[in-house]
Structure 1
Amino acid sequence: MLSKQFFFTLMTAAGLAAASDASDVHQLKTDNFDEFIKSNDLVLAEFYAPWCGHCKALAPEYETAATELKKKNIALVKVDCTEESDLCQKHGVEGYPTLKVFRGSLDNPSPYSGQRKHDSIVSYMTKQSLPAVSVLTKDTIDAFKTSDKVVVVAYFNADDKASNETFSKIANTHRDDYLFGAISDASVVEAAKVKAPGVIVYRNFDEPETVYEGAFEVDAITSFVKTTAIPLIGEVGPETYAGYMSAGIPLAYVFVEGDEQKAKFVTGLKNLAAKHKGKINFATIDAVAFGAHAQNLNLEQKWPAFAIQKTEKNEKFPFDQTKELTLEAIEEFSNDFAEGKLKPSIKSEPIPETQGPVYTIVAHNYEEIVMDEEKDVLVEFYAHWCGHCKALAPKYEELGALYFNNPDFAKKVTIAKVDATLNDVPDEIQGFPTIKLFRAGKKSEPVDYQGARTVEDFVKFIKEQGTHSVDATDALANKDTPAESAGKAAPAASEAAEEESTASASTEAAAEETKHDEL
């Protein structure tokens, strides 16, 4: 399935950078974490585990970013959660790596939502260090224009408060995405050859300057910036995936092998991409590095290959791989797509003949189970190769049995799961496992589950968030018999075994995910 989970950085075999005096990443512990955070205006903190594959992949990028950001007095720190478990628990760490932004205080840190590459980390944290809109002068504007890949500058008349407020609203909403600046110097506005109020987007690709000439309104300017921020023919990778997914328009992928094949399609498709600019985004994708990604578009790993995805509905339109993929074929296919002549491809496992305590969802029974307006349906979106999902499985089965075996509960609550790599579902998934509650009567507004992965916490979540407010607390408390309880290990041993099991599963997941080369 093509979704946000593939936005994760490509797993590599690189190990965590060895701690040394030369490192610009501060290794913190419980006894110095609070003091360090309070004494620095802006800190990015990584909570990690040494066995975590994603953490290993992040380590060299994090080190490079730390060195660059040190010049701007922005500190990067890391905490080993296998050694500082209480500290990590205190800060709500439930997965690795967890990255949080602190602003001179331990209160209300914000999650880091950028990419896990050094230049993205630098860009993101630089934006965090600046106001939503930087006030520019004739002496600072030239340097500001080239300070990031995409820079948005508004040109105002000095007394135009209304336009200033409109631009500030846009900047506050998208400050993590782009740099925003504003200037009201009449001589600079005149030199820019823009009619005030006006906006110019500066880029380090394609045309370096693009002027917005429409109405000075939030939605119109936001749409323009999002469209302009994406290259005419870009490249899909860990750095760019989120931008394409959030653009809100279909994405056309060209899977290519090598620079020569890439150059052929980039050059040959420019006119087509320009024709559909703002309606379809065109991008190449490295088939050598991300070949497994093709299966999420219902393509075989045969190159070159082409597919279009409607990102908002997660619908896939793969080009027939029994035919030769030529520039002319891509043009005809893309034009047919734009005219609504193509039907989406649907990937689905067979519908199970019987169901158990945890209902198995596939693409062909998704609507029947998930969209049942009479029931609260908790859905786990998982991957068969995901170690975290495997670690969760026995608890999730226990949860399913709790409701399935109680006739009153079963009428109101369904516990379900779907392998999101083998079935097309309409939901955008950010990672494995992702768990959502589709509430009776409110199916268009699912609630994401963010709590601990325990049966007790799932029960509480279903009670508090579900339409039917089913309370299975007593049923859970009474499910164990004395004999069963006597056979349990001591709590400490139990927790240690669980930690070891989770670590093992996560290590397995890291190894398996390396094979998938997902975005």
Structure 2
Amino acid sequence: MKLPPIVSSLGVVFFTILLVTGLSTPGQAEITSLDTGNIEDILNNAGVALVNFYADWCRFSQMLQPIFEEASNIAREEFPDVTQVVFARVDCDQHSDIAQRYRISKYPTLKLFRNGMMMKREYRGQRSVTAIADFIRQQKVDPIKEIHSLEEVNTVDRDRRNIIGYFDQKDSENYHTFEKVANILRDDCVFLAAFGDVSQTERFSGDNVIYKPMGETVPDMVYLGSLTNFDLTYAWAQDKCVPLVREITFENGEELTEEGIPFLILFHVKEDTESLEKFQHEVARQLISEKGSINFLHADCEKFRHPLLHIQKTPADCPVIAIDSFRHMYVYPEFRDIEMHLLEREKKLGVWIRKPVSIWCDHHLPHATRHISFA
């Protein structure tokens, strides 16, 4: 196994072994080979697409191939509509531009797409026919819970972010847009919907969508845009479901790393909400245009005590801001200066390195030991 070099990063690397046994001979599989000429059309027209980014020289890519093909056969039997589920593959040696576009750093990598949009989390389950087929079934489960009484709205979990739609009828363009957004953001928000007479009192000016934030006392927010405009509806929902500044933990570190974009991290004492609020405010004021290019994160100083030591800091130094480019970490000079040009110096230094650190052939298991290391 070729392993990546140790880097100055909070990136998470898994080292494990998967034993593959008892594979049956796959039938004729319908795997679509993607290239620059067809990738947009095929992915944009697929409700769900699972794409295998592979390299022929990688032994683990070779091992996955028959598993992927047989899982595709099962999915085709259960979901015969070719617009519902697509299994596809990209030869990353022949199409390195596609691999770079989707920030592929190891082979094989299984990425999930919905209506042409790549999901943040790659498939990290077992590499078996059963597990992959089950994963696809889970992706086809309706993410929207239907409300049969408005009393149910009062019992939603306020520890979660909830988006509730009130529609005249289910078979409508407005609801289809809502459904499309819910499928993409199903891991980030709880989606609910009411129809017909049940929703009538909430539809005083037509179909209506509201956001219920976390917390009992936080007021609801109403979507004021057109429900037939997917881009506008999705942008609004994403802004509500995915916080601009998220918390990084040892549990979600790999998922955040898989998004493939640099980190801007505030290390702070958990009880120090003032520093966090100031960081959130300055990120929103100065860097909102960088959302999608940079992950804005905050971390508990005590839990990340060891990584702090590697940048010559301790919890006593917090709050501390660091930039993780996946090659190195850079410490922001003084927290009190964040009101002025938060990233100007770092941008001039060319800190934001978009290229992957290295490409390697990886044998993956979902349960492994996490290693966070610095040079």
**TM-score of the two chains, using structure 2 as the length reference:** 0.49
As a proportion of its length, which structure holds more helix? 1
Which protein has the larger Cα radius of gyration, Structure 1 or Structure 2?
1
Higher relative contact order (Cα pairs below 8 Å, separated by 6+ residues): 2
